[in-house]
């Protein structure tokens, strides 16, 4: 099988930006030599069509059905090469060079749609689709010159497994009152990518009072993950499901310090409900807390009755796109509003410091607005343009799944994603993306 690297080595003659490798040359000689796959770009003004060669499609989650916003899509000049292992200080640079270089580049919109113009024509044209360390490197069987070439979902979805592309390394602490691991599964990741920490899968599940086994393997206790800074550095994303209480005694100061250090070097941390202990510290009998993070929000412990939340479109830089995306994927019937399963509704955030964190979703009581989901970048004490990692907190649970117990994936739902689960999915893929640089 030919490799992407081999296919990107073009032997065409010098042909410049006006190259027409399939004929139709005029009397004017090319002004400069082309290099590699760029030699396959056709000057469509000489064909009578007037339309450029283009590639279009929709970026999907691994399940092939949930369209995704904000994916980078490009035709590379060279093979992009392997992704680096472990947390990286990945800051967004929209004008920067992409791995392998880019002949054409774009970003998927709020409907997941993308279109690339003036691309090479021919067989086995490479296409890269990427969000953080989610990356598919596809070879398009045929791109016809001087027309649009829409691509099917099986070539434009993020990979389900390592046979389809690259996945981030994810550690999930499986707990008794949420099921983040089931959400990741319902987003399309193949079952064999879920393993214990001794397995070769992209997603390692740890026992935190939820699932205890996977296949014939017992799951390592999550406390062993939290206590070992070198173990944490194996993962791009760490997710802590809700444990039904803070259980602060299992998270000593050293573990909290480890988690902060992990995020500060570029790690991504997703905490559900009582996972607020990693940000707030022990709220029942304050004895220890993570440095810096404890001042980002003030906390309560309420179980109110409510059925909807609002997306912050006013102050969040991605809020309007988030709201439009939710509307496009069927997560909202009223733009900006998210229906919530009332049985799983929680409120633990009282106030949020807007100078330190971004509010994404809030509960509007009419007289007050309480953050439900927020995100901050790390090190939070550093200047905005010097931050590397992300931390997400969510009071919203994975409503469609039974409480995790026994052997994974027992109890994981196969139902379509609920509105609140689609909102969680948006934040899950966003946390994997680069850190927005704010000057």
* CA gap 252, 258 in Å, rounded: 10
Same domain, 197 and 339: yes
Classify residue 30 as exposed, middle or buried by CB count within 10 Å of its CB (0-12, 13-18, 19+).
middle
Q: Which of 156, 183, 212 is the last residue of a domain?
A: 156
Q: Which of 156, 180, 200 is the last residue of a domain?
A: 156
The region, left, alpha or beta by phi > 0 then psi within -120 to 50, assigned to residue 101 is left
pLDDT at 18: 38
pLDDT at 13: 33
pTM of the predicted structure, to 2 decimals: 0.92
**In this structure, is residue 421 part of a structural domain?**
yes
* CA gap 171, 205 in Å, rounded: 6
pLDDT at 437: 78
pLDDT at 399: 63
Number of folded domains in the chain?
2
pLDDT at 45: 86
Classify residue 157 as exposed, middle or buried by CB count within 10 Å of its CB (0-12, 13-18, 19+).
buried
**In this structure, is residue 238 part of a structural domain?**
yes
Query: Distance of alpha carbon 179 from its chain centroid, rounded?
Result: 18
Query: Mean pLDDT in each 10-residue stretch from start to end of the chain (439 residues)?
Result: 47 36 37 79 82 97 98 97 96 91 97 98 98 98 97 98 98 94 97 98 97 96 98 98 95 97 98 97 90 95 94 97 98 96 92 97 97 98 96 88 81 92 97 86
Same domain, 142 and 192: no
Same domain, 125 and 210: no
Same domain, 120 and 176: no
Same domain, 224 and 84: no
pLDDT at 46: 78
Same domain, 107 and 214: no
Per DSSP, the three-state class of 314 is coil
Residue 205, phi then psi, degrees to nearest 5: -100, 135
Same domain, 205 and 140: no
**In this structure, is residue 161 part of a structural domain?**
no
Q: Residue 101: CB partners within 8 Å, gap ≥ 6?
A: 76, 77, 78
Same domain, 112 and 237: no
CATH code of the domain containing 379: 3.40.50
**In this structure, is residue 289 part of a structural domain?**
yes
Q: Residue 320: CB partners within 8 Å, gap ≥ 6?
A: 313
Burial annotation 268-279 (CB, 10 A radius, 16+ → b, else e): bbbbbbbbbbbb
Same domain, 148 and 225: no
Same domain, 122 and 48: yes
pLDDT at 73: 98
The residue range of the domain holding 393 is 170-432
CB 321 within 8 A of CB 110: yes
Same domain, 294 and 419: yes
**In this structure, is residue 439 part of a structural domain?**
no
CATH code of the domain containing 138: 2.60.40.10
The beta strand positions in 180-284, using DSSP E, are: 194-195, 203-207, 211-214, 217-218, 237-240, 268-272
Same domain, 294 and 389: yes
**In this structure, is residue 164 part of a structural domain?**
no
DSSP 63: T
Q: Which of 110, 125, 156 is the last residue of a domain?
A: 156
């Amino acid at each position: 099988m030919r490799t992407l690297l081999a296919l990107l080595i073009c032997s065409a003659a010098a042909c410049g930006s006006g190259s027409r490798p399939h004929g139709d040359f005029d009397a004017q000689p090319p002004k400069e030599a082309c290099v590699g796959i760029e030699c396959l770009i056709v000057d469509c003004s000489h064909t009578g069509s007037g339309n450029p060669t283009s590639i279009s499609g929709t970026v999907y989650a691994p399940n092939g059905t949930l369209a995704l916003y904000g994916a980078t899509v490009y035709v590379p000049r060279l093979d992009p090469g392997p992704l680096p292992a472990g947390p990286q200080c990945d800051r967004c640079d929209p004008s920067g060079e992409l791995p392998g270089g880019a002949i054409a580049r774009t970003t998927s919109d709020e409907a997941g749609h993308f279109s690339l113009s003036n691309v090479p024509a021919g067989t086995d044209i490479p296409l890269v689709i990427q969000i953080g360390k989610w990356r598919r490197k596809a070879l398009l069987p045929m791109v016809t010159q001087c027309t649009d070439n829409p691509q099917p979902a099986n070539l434009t979805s993020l990979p389900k497994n390592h046979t389809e592309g690259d996945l981030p390394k994810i550690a999930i602490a499986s707990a008794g009152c949420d099921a983040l691991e089931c959400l990741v599964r319902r987003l399309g990741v193949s079952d064999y990518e879920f393993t214990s920490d001794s397995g070769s899968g992209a997603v390692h599940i740890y026992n935190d009072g939820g699932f205890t086994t996977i296949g014939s393997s017992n799951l390592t206790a999550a406390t062993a993950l939290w206590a070992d800074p070198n173990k944490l550095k194996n993962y791009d994303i760490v997710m802590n499901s809700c444990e039904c209480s803070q259980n602060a005694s299992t998270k000593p100061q050293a573990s909290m310090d480890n988690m902060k250090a992990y995020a500060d070097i570029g790690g991504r941390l997703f905490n559900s409900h009582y996972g607020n202990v990693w940000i707030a510290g022990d709220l029942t009998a304050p004895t220890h807390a993570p440095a810096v993070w404890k001042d980002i929000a003030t906390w309560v412990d309420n179980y109110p009755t409510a059925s909807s939340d609002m997306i912050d479109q006013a102050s969040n830089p991605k809020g309007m796109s988030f709201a439009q995306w939710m509307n496009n994927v069927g997560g909202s019937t009223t733009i900006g509003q998210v229906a919530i399963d009332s049985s799983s509704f929680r409120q633990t955030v009282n106030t949020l410091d807007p100078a330190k964190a971004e509010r994404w979703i809030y509960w509007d009581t009419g007289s007050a607005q309480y953050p439900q989901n927020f995100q901050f970048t790390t090190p939070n004490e550093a200047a905005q343009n010097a931050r590397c990692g992300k931390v997400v907190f969510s009071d919203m649970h994975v409503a469609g799944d039974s409480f995790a117990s026994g052997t994974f994936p027992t109890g994981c739902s196969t139902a379509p994603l609920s509105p609140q689960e689609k909102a969680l999915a948006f934040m899950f893929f966003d946390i994997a993306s680069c850190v927005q640089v704010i000057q």
